[in-house]
Structure 1
């Protein structure tokens, strides 16, 4: 039918027909079945057939009451439009047509850091679940490569960029390239001009570690520490090294040690293990520490420092705080009498889902905060199994096929 027809009576008394304009999109029509509309909204809440949502998320995305949402979900399961995934999850069995398949660029900091590798893996999984194309490049700790990668994303005309690079010297240049191309971007861990920041509250995380170090020293060293070692990343500027400022302030809050003992700050060349190992070896030879508190910018530098003390038989002369809560750090904290006394976890395995949701909010022009901080939690040898109870699964060898 070409359109809706209303019958009217003209001035001549003759029957005439006038075209009635179609209702505007979103207008409730007389023949619309609202139950079907609601069921369709449930199906459209799923962004792909691999995405698993629970009742709370579906209700939030559709704006429907939870009770209504539950009844519709169960009905759609019965009709095989949805299927249950786990105890509380649902998965859509219908591939819906999408107006646009987004393409997101992701530049990882490096594939050498366990934390970054975990973030990259979780982003890949989340992008696939959201039906998003992810173009992955590697900045490799290089400002030159980071600039080249930014130019590649612009040339590829991606819809949004997630950038993880630590060199503040080129942050403004990278930001300008994306701004000129009108490409929104999310900066991981290191803020960039004009970007939405996603990552740690570095100072807060440092204070958590510093307070725990000082409490550990009060409990285990009668005379307290005689030196403090800080392992930072100077290329990232004051923002990442705010973790170390927080460490000192946290120590002062508890024990006042940072005001009475010498402090040694070292640049670890991007937070890498081998560079840190050499630095701490040299420090041990020169300073001969007896009771050293070590605040590290990440777990790679923390573990390198621990190895340097351990290989010369001075492990008991240190107490070390890491950052990231990495798998390797958690494994070390399960060793009896370890001197890696804590690490602050940011849960990188959860970054992907949260970053992709943030990216979708930006692309759909929803209001977003200029900075999104990740959850922080102090991990110690005493609580590591409680916070990460499933780590042992990763050590189980699969049965041979």
Structure 2
């Protein structure tokens, strides 16, 4: 009598019976490394592999002894073999704009990190335009990318973009502005603004005997309350230190995306109309902050203002190094670190690893007193020769 045919399910079970679990776990450890340049510690490897730390440690040490891994530093490990990939991921990146230094730094970092991780990155420019952002979302869907990293500030189209990706079953990461259904990566906007407001108020209490006589807030209304939470934080931070903002007029302006030229024109008009004598200025980003500073300088009344920016850009850091500059501070987000972190987050999502719904970046108040300590290599960066930027696709 012929033996009964085995079902595919039985065949799978039979194959599993031949598997050596210790080998499977060792391969899982190796696959936790995304490239041969990545250095991971025990905690990260255990999290990515989904194994207990003690088991992970024994496997790591075994792989080191067999020369498949090597130790890097005191607590790190580096993979000596290129991890096998079932496929090369293709990720779409909708850049907010190429006009702002902050987003340009983020874009450059993403290109480098994607290349290191063997990812095909399709880059399109949202150009601060809701129409372009919607068109680019359609392009990402038609290109059937595996995941989208979207940086666009127009809250009015956030739900439409989210639906496009949801219907196409494409996971996405929203930079700076939360979108429905997206994993958020970026600033804690209110917290960052509050840090700036506290510093402004402390500075004003020391520098101006009679305190400020007005507050100017330079925001981005297209982003809704989310990005402008930085300005809410500025006011609350001022109130924590003093009662300035309860008794003096506050002027809010939309800077059309935080762009330099638009802000410069707005602050010039404000100076002509309001003739400020002691103005505290909270700006949504460094471009707006530097534009406000230029407007006061042009009018010959720079000492009538004290300005707090956001981003910690190179231009803001250079300005704070000027003697007696009235750019009092800028809250740094360290965009030069975004690329590697975002790509790592994207790979975790694509590999169905658990991720937090929101990943907030580090914030630190930069001042003329600490800027050289936090960014000691700025002078070297300015004198370093330019490198050839990797090719990328732009709209």
TM value normalised by structure 1: 0.86
**What is the alpha-carbon distance in structure 1 between the residues aligned to residue 84 and residue 256 of structure 2?**
48
Report the Cα distance in structure 2 between the residues aligned to 1:135 and 1:75, rounded to whole angstroms: 40
Which structure has the bigger radius of gyration?
1
Match of 2:181 among 190, 194, 219: 194
Q: Are residues 1:110 and 2:89 paired? A: no
Q: 1:26 to 1:166 in 2, by over 3 A?
A: farther
Q: Which residue of 1 aligns with 2:65?
A: 75
The Cα of 1:369 is off from its aligned counterpart by 2.6
Q: How does 1:1-400 map to 2 (within 5 A)?
A: 24=13, 32=20, 34=22, 39-62=26-49, 63=51, 64-65=53-54, 67-68=57-58, 71-72=61-62, 74-76=64-66, 79=67, 81-82=68-69, 90-398=77-385
Residue 238 of structure 1 aligns to a residue whose secondary structure is coil
Name the TM-score, length of structure 2 as normaliser.
Answer: 0.87
Separation of aligned partners in 1, 2:137 and 2:181: 15
For residue 229 of structure 1, give the secondary structure of its aligned residue in structure 2: strand
Q: Residue 90 and residue 360 in structure 1: after superposition, are their counterparts in 2 closer, same or farther (change >3 A)?
A: same
Deviations 1:282-326 (A, max 9, x none): 111221111110000001100111111122221111100001111
Counterparts of 1:316 and 1:308, CA distance in 2:
12
> What SS does the corresponding residue of 2:225 show, helix, strand or coil?
helix
User: 1:51·1:129 contact (CA, 8 Å) conserved in 2?
Assistant: no
Bigger CA drift: 264-273 or 57-66?
Answer: 57-66
| Length, aligned pairs only | 377
1:83/1:93 contact within 8 Å kept: yes
* Structure 2: gaps of 5 or more residues: 387-395
C-alpha displacement of 1:353: 2.1
Q: Secondary structure of 1:162's partner?
A: strand
Q: CA separation in 1, counterparts of 2:76 and 2:105?
A: 24
Q: Which residue of 2 aligns with 1:12?
A: none
What SS class does the counterpart of residue 354 from structure 1 fall into? Answer: helix
* CA root-mean-square deviation: 2.6
For 2:296, what is the secondary structure of its paired residue?
Answer: helix
Gaps of 5+ in 1: 1-15
From the superposition, tell whether residues 187 and 33 of structure 1 become closer, same or farther in structure 2 (CA, over 3 Å).
Answer: closer
Partner Cα separation in structure 2 for residue 324 and residue 69 of structure 1:
42
Contact preservation (8 Å) 1:205, 1:243: yes
